[in-house]
Every structure is written in C-alpha cells, then in structure tokens.
Structure 1
Amino acid sequence: MKVLIVSNGVPGRPAVLTDTLRRMRASGALVTLVSGAPAEKIPLSAGDAVVHALRPAKHLPRPDKRAYPEAGKGRKLWLRARHDQRLRALVRAADVLVALDQHAVHTVWQLARRNRAADGVFGLAPALRAVAARAAAPGRYRLRRLLRPGPSPAVAAEALGERADRLVERVARKGTGRRVLRDPRGRRAWRLLLGAPLLGEARRLRWTERVAERLIELDLPAEAGAVRVAAARRARHTVAGADSLETAAHAEFAAGRIPVFLRAAAAAQLHLADRALARDDLVEATRRFAKVIPLLFNRAVHFDSLTSPSARDPYGYLGDLHASATGRALAAPRGRLVPAAPPPAGRPHRLLFVTHTNVYFLTEIIERYRNRPDVEVRHLELTTDPDVTLLSKQTGRLIRHQLGGASDYGDALHDVFAPDLEWADTVFVDWCLGHAAMLATLDPGTARVIVRLHSYEAFTVFPHLLDLSRVDDLVFVSEPLREFATAAIPRLRQSGAPRTPVLTNAARLERYRRPKPDAARFTLGLVGVGAIAKDPRWAFRVLRDLRRHDERYRLVLIGKELDEGPNPTAAAYFAEYAADVADLERRGVLRRTGQTGDVPGALAEVGVVLSTSVRESFHLGLIEGAASGAVPVVRDWPFFAGQRAGARSIFPADWVVRDPAEAVRRILDRTATEETWRAAGAAAADHALATWDWSVTATEYDELILGARPR
C-alpha cells in the first residue's frame, strides 16, 4: 500500500507526524511526503518516509509563471505540483492521498481527480483510518483500481482545453507581430476579434493590452485606441473592463497623448456609478464618479492642448455624463423654500462677495460698492480659514453629499456660509468653481445669488455640480463663452434655469492711453503668455512672416512666463516654445518683460497688440492694448470659431483674422505709414474706451446687482 502526503511547507507538530508515519509503516504502508519546502528543511528521521520536494516556481512554464504571483497559497502549490513528472508517477501508484494542511487541500483534490482509485483525505487521523480500511480488505480496493482506471473525464477535458488555450495564445502572440499589425487588415481583424461576444473577459482584456502596447511601440497610438474602443464595447460594463480602460487612459496621458478612447473610459465608470447608485451604494457611486473627473476634465485635454473635443462638440462630449443617472442626480434641482426678494427699505443693500483665491477681476467692482453709502459690503475669502480651504479640496465629499442630501460635510458647509447668507441681500460668487457648488448646497433664503463664470470653469466638472435652482443669475463675460457653456450644460436651456446675462470684465482703460514713440509702430505686443491656451507660438509665426517683408518688426511678451507644466502634453508645447524663444532672442527680435506692475507703461512701447489664443472669455490684455492705441489683431479663437458667436461677436470684424497670413496682411496694411498706424490705433482706443471702460459698464453691474428684479 502506498500513501502520498502533501504539505504546503514545513510540516507542523513533527512529533505527531513521526508517530503517524510509524503507525502507517506498521500497517504495511510505504509513505512519500511531498512538500513545497526544500527537502533538507523537513524534520523527519531516515526511514520515516521518502521526501520529495517540489521544484521552485522559477521552473514553471510561462503561462503558470505569469499566474503564480497573484495566486493564493493553495493555488500556488498546485501550479508547482501539476508540472512535476516525478509526482505524477507517485500519484498513479498511490492508494491514499493526504492533505497535511489546508493549503494542500486543493492540490490533493486535483491529484485525486487524476487517480480515482485512491482515497483523498484531509488530516492525519482520516489518513490512518483510510490505511486501516485498505489493510483490512485489500481485495476490494484492487477491484476499485480495475473499475476506476485513470483520471476523470473532466480532467481530460480540462487538459484538452488547456492545450487548445496554449495553441490559441501561441497564435495570438504571432498575431501581434510587426508584419500583422502594420497591415490595416491585421488591425481590422484584431478589432473584430476583441469585440467578439464569445471571447472570455480575462482573455479579451489581456489580448487588448498586448495588441495596444505593440501598436504604441509601432508608433500607432490612434490604432491602439481603436483596439481598446472595440474591446470596450463588450467589456466596459464590467469592473475589470472599466478599470482596464481607466488605467490605459492614464497611461496615455502619462505618455503625452490624449486617449482616443477617453469617452469610452469615462462612460464605463459612469455605468458602474449608476449601478452603485441603483443599489443605494453611495460610497461606491461617489468613488466611480470621482474617477470620471480626471478623465473627462483632464487638464491635458482642455488646457494643455491647442484643441479640445469639448470645443468641437460641447454637448456630445459630455453626453454620457448628462445621460447617466449619477450625472442627473448630481444636477437635480433642490430648489429654495422662498424666492429671492428685494431688500427692505430703510437700510443699505447688503452685498456679499464670495471668492476663493482669485480676486483679480473683482477689484474694481468691490471698490465701487464699498464707496457707495447705500451698499454695505462683506467679502468672504474662503482661503483665509485652513479648515474651509480643506473643505474646498474635498470634491469627493461634495459629490457624496449631493447624492445623499445630508452629511457631516453638508453640516460643515452650513457653518461656513449660513451666517453670511442670512445677512446678505445679494451674493456675488466670482468663478464658477468648487466654492460656488459648495455654497449652492444651502438654501439661500431670500438672498439673490449671482455666479460669474469665466472661461476656465467651463472645462471643469464644477458647473455640473452646481445646483442651478439656487442661482438667480449665471453671468458670462462674453457671448462666445455663453454660447459654449449653454451647449455644454443643457440645464441652462431648460425652464427654471437662471438668467444668463453677459457683462464684460470691469476695466479702467483710460490709464492705458499714453503717447507712443515712433519706434512702437514696428513692435508687436502679446499680453499674458502664462497658459498654453494663449498659444504664443502663433505670434512667433506671425513675427517670422512679417520679417520676410520688413526686418524692423519686433515682438515683446508682457506678463507671466509660460512654464513647463505638470504633464507631458504641456511639456511638449513648452519645449517647442522655449526653442522658439531662444532662437528669436538670439536674433534680437524678441524681448520679455516678465510680470510687471506697470502694464500701461509696457504697452506704451507697443504698436500692434495681438490676441493669439485658441480660446478666451474676453481677453482683457488685448482690450488694454487697444485702449493704449495699439492696433488690435485678433486670431479667430479656434475653440469658438465654429459657433454662431465667436471673436467677431465681441470685436469689430476688421480686428479678427483667420490665420497668420491674414494677420500679416492686416499688420502691414495698418502700419504701412506712421499716419496710417496712428489713425488705426486712435480708432481702436476710441472704440475700446467707449465700449468697455468701467465708466461705461459700471451701470450694467448696478442693474445686475442692485436693480434687477428677482426671478
């Protein structure tokens, strides 16, 4: 009689094991101990049992070696045992198979399937009973061996399936060769295969990553994205599929590419968020929605690139967000108990300004109302309190509160805003960011709430977290921005939406009107180059083209410098920008002032002011340049060029140009003579002062803040 004992490692309780082995030998059994530990570590005396140590995992074939690190202890032991040829012979001859510990149970079960005539037991006591039973009736067990030869049919089927799998994997590896993937037919075949309904989930994900990685190595990132999209149509509704797409998207961002499957990755996470919301798992719904934000609203997509999918189709880009149950729940109107009301007579109008760091565009407005005796002003700057600053960074808690309707986070926001809301007649929130959404978690009572949205916020998640039922006016600084935002935020077009007035930024422009020296005629100026959206390289192209006509033209960059940025997309633009700057400065045709406290003085030296941006809300720097008497040249901002309202809806049509060639023609024409240049500059200054100076626009703010009727 032969007994095979399997142990995951060094057996515990050696005295008990030794005693058991001696009792088995007394019954006539030959014992072999198979261990996952080295033979020299097994504490047995000579003659107790034959010890067979399994080979280390490094000798496993490639498929099992890949699976080994993630496997549990029991599975790891079986992966080592299944390829041990000496063990196979021992199993075929064994009468009793014994699992010495719980991690050996799976292996003994697998071995018993391969020798159905043997008894498979767990533990030493059952092993002794099995040995005694066989010793008492050896004939019956000889018959059993005759009736149950070989492995079970299931084992044979599994072996056949594994061989088929290995063959398929081998073919798949050959299919990811350069020759196949460089051929459009090969790539098309892979897309069809990875989207096939009967392909297993694990294999689909594994092959997708293998093919996508090879395509990226072949410098075909768009094709890699198409492969992932094809697989995502089948796999994105599973956790593994959604997380695989998310991981791949962030890998693309890290490599400096915008994922072509970005929307598919976000839609997969939204689907999981909706499923969690349906079962009232708000924690998981919040976690999944939080994963959507760095996908759809990644700064590399909208701020560090010269194009944006949102600009091409604002509503379509966010269509999955608007259609999702989670997106609708976050945007659901919670309303107010009473409508906004005018302040009571007999006291000043109480005006509350709410800001978070950036007050640059509020300076003139706050000063105006602080100087009015009929207005009492408070300014709530949220960054002055570290606890409030922390709350403003916890977007996940804001989302969770929006979904649940009550939370400790909501209580903390009540403590922050409630005293000032109860005091105020009108609340003016500048920038439609997290602090605006935070304030809108509270019922504002009778206070009118005004939120001003600049260009930046329209490409963030925060307008989609803002409860618009608690906002009376959502103010835009230009018509192109309003058209874009109402397309991206469809709630703004529905009944009950806030008013959407357009009021330009407050600017005192008279101080920019200073005499210009004759040399300014050939000096181009660009105010503000600290963001890639300003696209200063467009100005460099204009300068180079101009100098082919007249080498007197120069360029000055005024304001904060562009930096390398936080991601490879930004770094790639910066590298080209830095190379251009070095070349132009070496040739003496470019000057940088850096950040300056005397912008009017810097603009006095500029004869032509440029707006080279891909998007702007209003471009105050250009307006200041025009007010100084510089000839304005405005690129038809590409983000808004396809809209009904673009740069031409803000500026006179002859200021706006389609491309660098048209910019060059306008500049050459308007600077052809000193008289022509000065006349064009004076006309631009007159228009700027008559249209956008604070002396003109201040009354529009009075009407908005103090005189407009509540909704």
Structure 2
Amino acid sequence: MRPRALVYGDVDLNLIDGSAIWAQGMVQALARAGCAVTLVLKAPVRTGRLVDPLRALPNVTVRSPHAEGLVATDQGMHPRTAATVLARIDAAGPHDLVVVRGRRLAGRLAHTDLAGRLWTYLTDVPQSAEGFTGQVRGELNRVADASRLLLCQTEELRGFLESAVPAAAGKSVLFPPVVVLPDGLEPRSEGAPEDRTLRMVYTGKFAPRWNTLEMTRLPALLGRRGVDAELHMVGDKVHDDPEDPGYAPRMRAALEGSPGVVWHGGHPRAEAMRLTAAGDVGVSWRHPSMDASLELSTKILECGALNVPVVLNRTPMHERLLGADYPLFAATEDDVVDALTLVGKSPDAYALAARRCRDAAADYTLDAAAERLTRSLAAAFPEPDRRVLRAGGRKLRVGVASHDLKFFTRLLEYFDSRPDMEVRVDHWSALRAHDPERGQELIDWADVIICEWCGPNALWYAERKRPGQRLVVRLHRFELYADWPKRLNIDAVDQVICVSPHYADLTRQLTGWPHDKVTVVPNWVDDADLDRPKLPGAEHHLGFIGVAPSRKRLDLALDVLERLRRDDPRFTLFVKTKLPWEYWWIWQKKEEREHYEEAFRRIRRSPLLAGAVVFDDYGRDVAAWLRRVGFVLSTSDDESFHLAPAEGMASGAVPALLPWPGADTIYDTRWIHDGTDAMADAIAATVAEGRWDTERRLAQSQVRNAYALNEVCRRWTDLLAAEATDAAPAGPAAATA
C-alpha cells in the first residue's frame, strides 16, 4: 500500500522562486518514490503555470483550501491558519507523513496531532549567533522533537542544525534541491560563445541581496569592454523592501528600461528553463552578506543540468560543489565583469566551467531525490513480518524497561515503526527508582519484555513475569562486575543479549548461566547518518570520543599524537567529551583526578602537544563532528564493544585500536596495533603512502556489513520473531488491555 504523504510549504505557487521550485520537486520526488501525494496550496490559484503540471501527475492530488471554502480570505494562508487547515484535512483521512516547509508553520504543527509524522524541511534557520536567540532555539527544539525527520538542503545546514539543536541529531537527513528538466528540453550545445552577442540569464525573484538591480548594469559595463551582451531576466516577483521603499520601483524601471536587459516576466518553470538553455552563462552573483548562507541555489543546479555555466560567489559550499579552481567565481562587480569577459575570450575556461556545473548537477536529479526518499520511506515504514504477528494477525506487544535508553533509542524507534509490533516503555526514573503499578501494567499487557541493562529492572521483572511471557535482558560491561547478575533468576530469563563475543564468553564464565541463554547481538551503528563528506585536512586529524573514566587512556592517545608530530606537525587530536569533573562519581576518586591532572599538565607543557589537542563539547552531533576526523583512536584498557571506532569507520575514518581484551572479536586485526608506537607508525604510513582513502573505504565497508543499523535491527527482528513463535498466548489481562 502506498504511503500517504501530505505536502505543504509556506510557498506561493503563483510566483517563480526557489521555494516554489522546491514544492514542485518535492511532490514529484515523493510520487516517484511510491507515495500517494496530496499537495495543499497556500494561496488561491491565479495562474496555473506551476500547479497545472502537478495536477497532471499520477497519484498526486492538489487541494486549494480557498477554492474549497476552507479559508475565508483571498490571501495566502498565515501559518496559524495553515496549521488548522492541514489538521482538518488530515483528520478526514490520516496521512503517514506530513512534509512541511517553514519554521513558524512547523512550530505550530508541533502542538497538533500531526506531531510525530512531520517531515520538516528547514531553510529559514538563523545562520548567525545574533539571530539564534533562546526563543528561536526553543522553537527549533520543539520542531525537532515533533518531527520524524528533518530534511536539510545542504550538509552545511545539517551540521549547523545538529550542533545548535541537540534534538535534531539522528533525525537530520539530506534532501538537496531537485532539478527536473521538462520533457523534450535539450541542454545547451557544447562550445563557447564566440563572435556573437553574449546571452546572460537570470531567473528568480528580484531582491536587494540577490544583486538583481546591480545585474541590470552588466550589459552596459561589458559594452565598455567591447563585449556585446544581453541580460535575459525571467520572473515577476519584485521584493518590497521595508528598509528601502524605493527599491521595487527602481527595480521595475531597470527591468523595463536598462540597455541590453530583456525582461521576460513570469513564466512556467518549463519555459523559464528553455530560456536558460538558450543562454550562454547564468548569473547568480549575490551580496557578500549571503556568502555564509547554508542554502544552495536551485538556479545554479538548473543551469548546470542545462550545460550553462554560472557566475557566482566564491564560498566554501560553492568550492566543494565546483572546485576551488572554478574559473567563474566573482565577489565584486568588477569580478563579475572580468568573469563574463573571460567567457567570450577563453573557450577552455568556458568549457571547464560548463563541465563542472554539469557534473555537479548530476547529483540533484529527480531520480536521485526519489532514491533518497525511498530509503527514508523504507526505514520509516518497514514491511510487516508474518513471523512476528500473533494469532489472528495481532501485533506483537513489546515492553521495554530501563532507567537509561541512550544505547537503545534507535532500536526503540525501529520497533515502534514496525507495523507488526506495538511498543510500550516502563521508564525507571533512576537505577533503583520505579513505579510498580506501571511495571505491573506492562506485565499484564506485553508478550515480550526487554530489560535494557541487567540491573534492578531485570531482577524485578524476572520475579514477576507471567508464565509463558518472554523476558530478554541486554547486559553491558557496567552490570557484569556488579552483583545484579548473581541475583538474577536466570530460569525466568529467555535470552541474555551481549554486544560482543568476548563479553558473551566472559558472562558465561562469571555467571555460570547456560551457554544457549547468552547470545550476541552487536551494537548498532547508524551508517547512513554517519556517512558524510570529509572536510579538507581530515587525514591529519585524530579523533577520540569520551575520556572518562581513566581506563579510556587519554594518556596513550597523547603518546600517539606526540610521536606523529615529531615528523609532521599537521597532526591534531580532536577530543569530543564531557570533562571528567562533570562526572561526580569519577572526580571524587583521587586516582582519577591525578590521572587527568597529569594529562592536562602534559598537554600544556609538551612542545609537541601544545596547541595540538582540541576539546569539543560532548553532544549528539557526532556525525557532523566526525567530518573533520580521519582516524578514530581506541586506546582503552578494556571495552565491551567500544562504539567510537565503529562510528568512525561508518563516517569514512580509519580505526586505530590497541589490543584490549576482545577487540579482535569485534574489529579486523588490521586495525589493531601492539602499542602506541606501532599505532602512530601505521597512521603516518597510511597518510604518507597515499593509502588513507583506500583504507577508510575498506573500514566503511566492513562496518556496514557487520554493524549497520538495518542489519542489527534485522537481527533483533529475527530474535523477537522466534520468541513470538515460541511464546504462549497472552493472559487474560493482556487480552483485554
């Protein structure tokens, strides 16, 4: 059955601009990804040039609240009104996902029944510290909490959002602009414009920061250089600037009367792209205040798809897209004129620019967008498994009990997303603090109970579970050396889950539990979320996640760094962590304090370490942080699994481990080194011999095959499916729950 998608943007589809193009692309991509799509319009239809092509698509319904009498005004809907209308439309026939664009709108929908189904596309995010007020941060956190996914246009926006809004981490996925060429439209033919009028093209809105008024001077300025040129401008949305009331009249006058400017007015997108394809060069030169923008202009990509190179500002984002040596970067008016003059005088530069733009646009096709959405839809709406369903097709009732779900969150989300499972959580307020009435309700209801941590929660449920009810306990290193496993009624437990073969063996040895009751399901790694492009210089950056307690051995990581920097001062250690004094139970121990005091003293005093160790705040934005990291270190005395190297591998970094007990049962021995000197020498050789990219790709492939989130979820599904088959029917209390 097709997922039902409701789409709304704070977008007027009577006008051509980037947001209107977003709405078109989103609807088309969702439909191609297999959704039944309903697009709700913000404004009454005054021209069908953007809406009519969508009405013609199969599995797409376009609804106009104004035409249907759902809105009293003839103006575009305010976010408050839009939220009410969307809730009303959904109530008449609930949708599986609700794709919305606009921060204020999403903030209002966060308080409605649509919360949890929102796929929020965020672009209107303040991109400076001044604009990121407490009120804005709070609103964005509420939006993130209420959203199933946050769709981000660029990697830069995703990283910024995750660092500023903790709730966004793990929910942010890329949805770049979509470029769809109209049927029958061919890209511009190869070859530079020579011995004829140079045709420049701009499509979009006319606004001060878009430099559109300044663009109208370009034909005259080029004429002074002996270059015959025309500027073709497409669009009819002229910005009214409250700070400059005279802007709109001046802009219209320039469009109508500037020498060499041809104003085509507003057109359907297909016609606008045909006019672009007839041009020689696109102009996307903007005010310097927009250089820090985290958004990518759709116009640049459209030009690229049409084989039309673009003059645009040099920014880190544009350099990543087109290369630092792209020949048509420009900052000032003189730069723009120089670049446009180059177009006619250097066929090689023109060909290079066209090729770079064309290659860049290849990643932004409708097929690429549909593929991204297909992956997200598959994760959000897994197929049901007949093995999991109970008699009569009833969903399997899964209860989860824990005081701390930080290592279980994504599994819990996965169970909750499955159409064959129903999930309830008994959240203990502390390790030993529990509401027994809530626990009894879970016992009365659940077919299977999972205790995350083998602590007091496992003891409580093992003593009270119903006959035939399944009980699964997930055991970590923390509990193994406490007394809870010794007190656990193992006969009442159906399965004990350990995250590594070494700790499974150790658990059996220390507890004497039956061999077949202890099994291994590894920790998960969200490989899709972590797989992000590395930043320049990452091959010289070491990463270390979490320094406490002292058995994590920050001191050994410093040994590695010192040895590397003796020969190459580019190596730097980035440490993402809470500081040890933030853990009172660690800082109260004298030996722990002494360990860290010595490490920090050494960092200050060592000539090789001073300025080479960067401490970053602990937070959920690990995926964004790992973009700068080329090697992830694991120098611990012991670990049950140690997720950091696996996360590093998924991000495209090379793992480097010391041989703590059991490391070779989790990671390939090629990544395990006998000591800090051997580790440093291996890192140096990997970089010096040009093997870093090959090694990191191998590591990434290994972690995907073994610990990818979907693989670990599949193993949990298999485990619960087997138990569902073996389990006795739920008791009377469950049957009536």
TM range, smaller chain = 0.3 to 0.5
Larger Rg: 1
User: Normalized per residue, which structure has more helix?
Assistant: 1
Structure holding more strand per residue: 2
TM-score by length of 1: 0.45
TM-score using structure 2 length: 0.43
